[in-house]
Amino acid sequence: MAGNESEQKGASAGDNGERSAWSFIIRGMWRSPLGLMGVTLTTVSITLMVVGLAFDIMGLIQNPYANIFTYMILPGGMLTGLALIPIAGFLRRRQWHQFGIPRAHLHINLSDHRHRKFLIVFIVLTVINVSVLGLIGYEGYHFTDSPYFCGVVCHQVMAPEYTVYQRSAHAKVACVECHIGSGAQWFVRAKLSGLRQVAAVMTDSYSKPIPAPVEHLRPARDTCETCHWPDKFHGKKVKTMKHFTNDNQTTPQVTEIALHIGGRNPESGVFEGIHWHVSKDVQVEYLASDNRRTQISKVRVKRPDGTKDEFVKKGEAKAAGEAPEWRTMDCIDCHNRPTHVYDMPEDIVDFGFLSKKLNGAIPGLREDSLTAITGKFATRDEAKAKIGAALIDLQTKRNPGEIGKYRQDLTNAGLYLVEGYLANCWPETLVEWGTYQVHLGHRSPDYGGYSLSDPTFGCFRCHDEEHVNSSGKAIPQNCDLCHDEPKM
């Protein structure tokens, strides 16, 4: 009994003023540079996190880098400081023999009011730290998953994709819903890939332009099809296209076609139309000859009745050094730019005449507008400064006697063309007209025209009459497979 009492007196400060082992450690940490650093780093980090969180919630800060500091850097500083405190205590305890302090066992005596006070303070501080860190972690998770983070933080890299995303049909869909989807596995993979991309940005070693299609993109069945259902029968959809010519700038040529969207026909119970390619009872695979998937060497088809077929394009071979990789066709193979859609120069000019932003009464304006907007510029600033001047110069040479009459219209036309260029071209990152082609239909990459012969994009990558099976049957290129004239 007497021995236990003496141990308690040695382990805690008694009436004679002796210090306990805990007292030596806690008081000593304030005299230790490492301990002082840990306490200071923790206190400063948690204070700034609370302030930054409050400013962000109230909308007082719109700078993405401030949020990076709040949600990513400061939590790291807080955790580092919390780790330094016990490390400093451990190192302090190891130094006791230098000062002749006995290394008594550390224990908590709840009968001692000082131990109880210490324990209560420790629990309160722990609850505060965990609560703040949990809230910051939650907000940080949503911040790093936001389109704002993806598009603004890496502004130099993602400016083209973020700009066209904001005007797309998916502008209200977060980037991560398509690029990552649900589930922890793909979330972790995306964050690890993000670290590699951050390193590439910091060393300026990232690809210019960003390669397309995106490597290791999650299958469309896990992302796109959470909202879009290919099995749903859509029947036909009438599409109207309006196009002006150099000879007629006031009345557009109107083309209407009925697209066979297809799906499972409720009357026949079979899949038909364009969406037949991705129906659940059909499997279409292909072997591309290039990384951009514009040259297709082979196509394999498994039909609903279980029959299989393989079509081979003569003369096509896998590039040297590349292992053959079969890909199962999904939504992205046709809708390869479902969100990041870049306009072509003819689209912009045609819309200008349609919306009256370009005056169709000015002779030669369409041709000169295309010439001005497709000029070669080293930077966006150069384009902004020269496109309008180039248009006026071309019109001055074409119509020297009427340039004064249309001066204001030409000035407005120049501003419109500049706006169209800046919304689609970033020469600093080699994103120019036609850099990213659309595989829907068979639009030609030469500024928006239509082609029936170029097989390097769209439907004609496979439907070219050149992919032949063992019996000599080719994948057809019949127009009525996908569309026909709408019936009135």
- CA-CA distance, 223 to 179, in Å (whole number)? 8
Distances (CA, A) of 419 to 164, 268, 343, 345: 13, 49, 12, 12
For 173-194, what is the mean pLDDT? Answer: 77
Residue 189's pLDDT band, with cuts at 50, 70 and 90, is confident
At residue 267, the pLDDT reads 83
Residue 12's pLDDT band, with cuts at 50, 70 and 90, is very low
**In a 3-state reduction of DSSP, which class is residue 129?**
helix
The answer to whether the bond into 209 is cis (omega within 30° of 0) is yes
For 323-347, what is the mean pLDDT? Answer: 88
- CA-CA distance, 275 to 228, in Å (whole number)? 11
**The one-letter amino acid at 109:** N
At residue 24, the pLDDT reads 64
Q: Write the burial class of residue 369 (CB in 10 Å: 0-12 exposed, 13-18 middle, 19+ buried).
A: buried
Distances (CA, A) of 156 to 152, 433, 453: 8, 18, 37
Residue 369 near residue 351 (C-beta atoms within 8 A): no
Residue 312's pLDDT band, with cuts at 50, 70 and 90, is very high
User: Taking the mean position of all CA atoms in its chain, how far away is CA 61?
Assistant: 23
- CA-CA distance, 326 to 328, in Å (whole number)? 7
For 242-253, what is the mean pLDDT? Answer: 93
Helix (H) or strand (E) holding 284: strand 283-288
Query: Does residue 199 register a pLDDT over 60?
Result: yes
For 366-373, what is the mean pLDDT? Answer: 95
At residue 9, the pLDDT reads 41
Q: 374-410, pLDDT tens digit by residue?
A: 999 999 999 999 999 999 999 999 988 888 899 999 9
Structural domain boundaries in the chain: 2-144, 147-206, 235-330+464-484, 345-429
Q: 74-124, pLDDT tens digit by residue?
A: 999 999 998 988 888 788 777 666 666 666 666 777 787 877 888 888 899
Q: What stretches of 267-332 show up as alpha helix (H) in DSSP?
A: none
Query: Does residue 478 register a pLDDT over 60?
Result: yes
For the chain, the residue count is 488
- Segment among 31-40, 85-94, 164-173 with least mean pLDDT: 85-94
At residue 13, the pLDDT reads 43
Query: Does residue 72 register a pLDDT over 70?
Result: yes
Q: What stretches of 235-344 show up as alpha helix (H) in DSSP?
A: none
**Count of beta carbons in the 10 Å neighbourhood of residue 1:** 5
Query: Does residue 5 register a pLDDT over 50?
Result: no
- CA-CA distance, 345 to 375, in Å (whole number)? 11
pTM: 0.75
- CA-CA distance, 98 to 179, in Å (whole number)? 59
